Chains A and B, each alone.
Chain A
């Protein structure tokens, strides 16, 4: 089945220690998104890639970076995690502007704990 895969599902890192979360997709979608979701809140968009074009939300901290080496993979790098970065990180994909309904397909998420 075509899907969005996130690894690992649970990640524990130390305060200030860089961490990378990964996302892959078999949908061949040209847009990939990263969201941060804190407890009992709606997902908050951090950034997205439209093909190779990177689009950062205005309020996304510089501590968060992303890489998309090819269509299938996208990475979220947190350079110096703070306690406030503990959250669920969701990856999503969509077919983009030509996709019709602009529907996003979500992965299962990675829950990040910062100790």
Chain B
């Protein structure tokens, strides 16, 4: 069985400050891990993915995430938030044909 926990339902930052969205996972196997972003009334867009290669993964729009097996974590970071980053973010753990979503973290960016 596998599951994913996003530790914050809502994160609020000021524009230009760092972003940290936290994710912990549980899996009996070696899963793939993803971060997706969803803007209002839109589909999900892949930000980045971890598939057992480099533990520090760089994604689109300046986001990156670090896979830490000892902590079973896959936290998403960005050095400097932009207003356009305001959205819902989902951490996902995946085995073949079994994708489990976290509950989501809503990121608010204040001017």
The chain A residues found within 8 Å of chain B, CB to CB, are: 4, 6, 31, 40-43, 45, 48, 50, 55, 88, 90, 92, 94, 96-97, 100-109, 111
Asked if residues B101 and A42 are in contact (CB atoms below 8 Å), the reply is: yes
Asked if residues B43 and A97 are in contact (CB atoms below 8 Å), the reply is: no
Asked if residues B43 and A96 are in contact (CB atoms below 8 Å), the reply is: no
On chain B, the residues within 8 Å of A97 by CB distance are 96-97
Number of interface residues of B (CB under 8 A): 22
Asked if residues B104 and A42 are in contact (CB atoms below 8 Å), the reply is: yes
The chain B residues found within 8 Å of chain A, CB to CB, are: 32, 34, 36, 41-46, 49, 51, 90, 94-97, 99, 101-104, 106
- Do A106 and B44 form a contact, CB below 8 Å, given A96-B96, A97-B97? yes
Q: Interface residues of B: mostly helix, strand, loop or mixed?
A: strand
Asked if residues B90 and A42 are in contact (CB atoms below 8 Å), the reply is: yes
On chain B, the residues within 8 Å of A104 by CB distance are 94, 99
In the bound assembly, the distance between CA atoms of A100 and B50 in angstroms comes to 11
- Do A103 and B34 form a contact, CB below 8 Å, given A41-B104, A42-B102, A42-B104? yes
A68 to chain B, nearest CB (A): 15
A-B contacts, 10 of them at CB < 8 A, read: A6-B43, A42-B104, A88-B41, A96-B97, A97-B96, A102-B95, A103-B32, A103-B49, A106-B44, A108-B43
